[in-house]
Amino acid sequence: MKYIEFSKNKKDLSQIIVGLMRIDKMTPDELARLIDGALDVGINAFDIADIYAGGGCESLLGETLARRPDLREKMWIQSKCGIRDEGFVYFDFSKKHILEATDQILQRLKVDHIDSLLLHRPDALMEPEEIAEAIDQLVKAGKVVDFGVSNMNPMMIELVKKEVKTPIMTNQLQLSAAFTPSLNAGFHVNMEQDAGIVRDSSIFEYCRLHDIVIQAWSPLQHGYFEGVFLGSDKYQELNKVLDRLAAEKGVTPTAIAFAWVLRYPGRMQAVTGTTKVSRIKEAALATEIELSRKEWYEVYLAAGNDLP
């Protein structure tokens, strides 16, 4: 396993993050085995959110940690707040909600702090002063160590940074071999193709410029939760290339898909969404290989993209 320096507080964070979005149907014993399996291959980073199963995923993790208190010191735990589901989904970055949501996260997890708190998707009504007051209060109280955002573009981050003095350590962004709108726009600068439309204000380049860790979510998905591209008839050419590279390097296509994401030259992490230890082990192998520039572009083109 390879590690990154996430912040001054954490200098050895695994490049693979275990996402706990789908654990609500597991038992505490099953979840403990999943966590042990991740730790066994060097993964120490775990991501969750208060919206997952309406807090049920956090409650299950909390119950698991209560039964296995030895796990907490081995785990870097990140949670997210800001998405509210009250008859319909909306976003809330008010000071009151951030403070209340974080306290509820800690109660469900049965811990006194979380290692990282992310604002979950952008709130158009956000007031930077309120966010600053909330984050400063949480950090001073020792309830939150590091702070980040998700799915924000550069100007949104600049707006938050206007008042928030706690460094923004990470931005969660969707990226996979079959989901590359940010890369497409870069390749087609100043051209008339639809691929040249800049939809995110060059957020990947912004994160590199400002040393913000990119946490790539859905690294095996195409579209917005439209399905996994591995083995999909829709991506036959991509799967041929992934299968060949996997055979050449002695790993699985899953590892190649993760390695493709991690090859982007920013400070990268990739979030798994699996509840199977075997798949976590496959993803972990991605950090042991590095695709050549030619191999990386071959995968990109095989996904149906083109270059000028």
pLDDT at position 99 is 98
Mean pLDDT of 250-255: 98
Please, which pLDDT band fits residue 282 given cuts at 50, 70 and 90? Answer: very high
**How far is 248 from 251, CA to CA, in rounded Å?**
8
Residue 225 placed within a domain: yes
Q: pTM of the entire structure?
A: 0.97
- What mean pLDDT, rounded, does the chain reach? 97
Q: What is the pLDDT of residue 225?
A: 87
pLDDT digits (tens, 9 = 90+) for 185-240: 999 999 988 999 999 999 999 999 999 999 999 999 999 889 999 999 999 999 99
Residue span of the structural domain in which 148 resides: 3-302
d(CA 269, CA 16): 6
pLDDT (average), residues 78-100? 98
Confirm whether 109 is domain-assigned: yes
Per-residue pLDDT tens over the stretch 18-62: 999 999 999 999 999 999 999 999 999 999 999 999 999 999 999
Residue 9 lies in a domain: yes
The CATH number of residue 255's host domain is 3.20.20.100
On whether residue 308 sits in a domain, the answer given is no
Helix ranges (H only) for the chain are 28-40, 56-67, 95-109, 128-140, 154-161, 181-187, 203-209, 236-249, 253-262, 277-284, 293-302
The arithmetic mean of pLDDT across residues 97-120, rounded, is 98
- Asked if pLDDT for residue 162 goes beyond 90, the answer is yes
Q: Give pLDDT, residue 193.
A: 87
Q: Quick check: is 142 in a domain?
A: yes
Question: Is 43 inside any structural domain?
Answer: yes
Q: Is residue 105 part of a domain?
A: yes
**Residue 293 — pLDDT band, cuts 50, 70, 90?**
very high
Q: Can you tell me which residue has the tokens 């579209």?
A: 223
pLDDT given at position 249: 98
| pLDDT score at 297 | 98
Distance CA 22, CA 24 (A): 6
The mean pLDDT value for 164-170 works out to: 95
Does 284 map to a domain?
A: yes
Distance of CA 119 to CAs 83, 94, 147, 273, 286, Å?
A: 9, 11, 8, 19, 28
Total of domains in the chain: 1
Per-residue pLDDT for 304 more than 90?
A: yes
Decide if pLDDT at 132 tops 90: yes
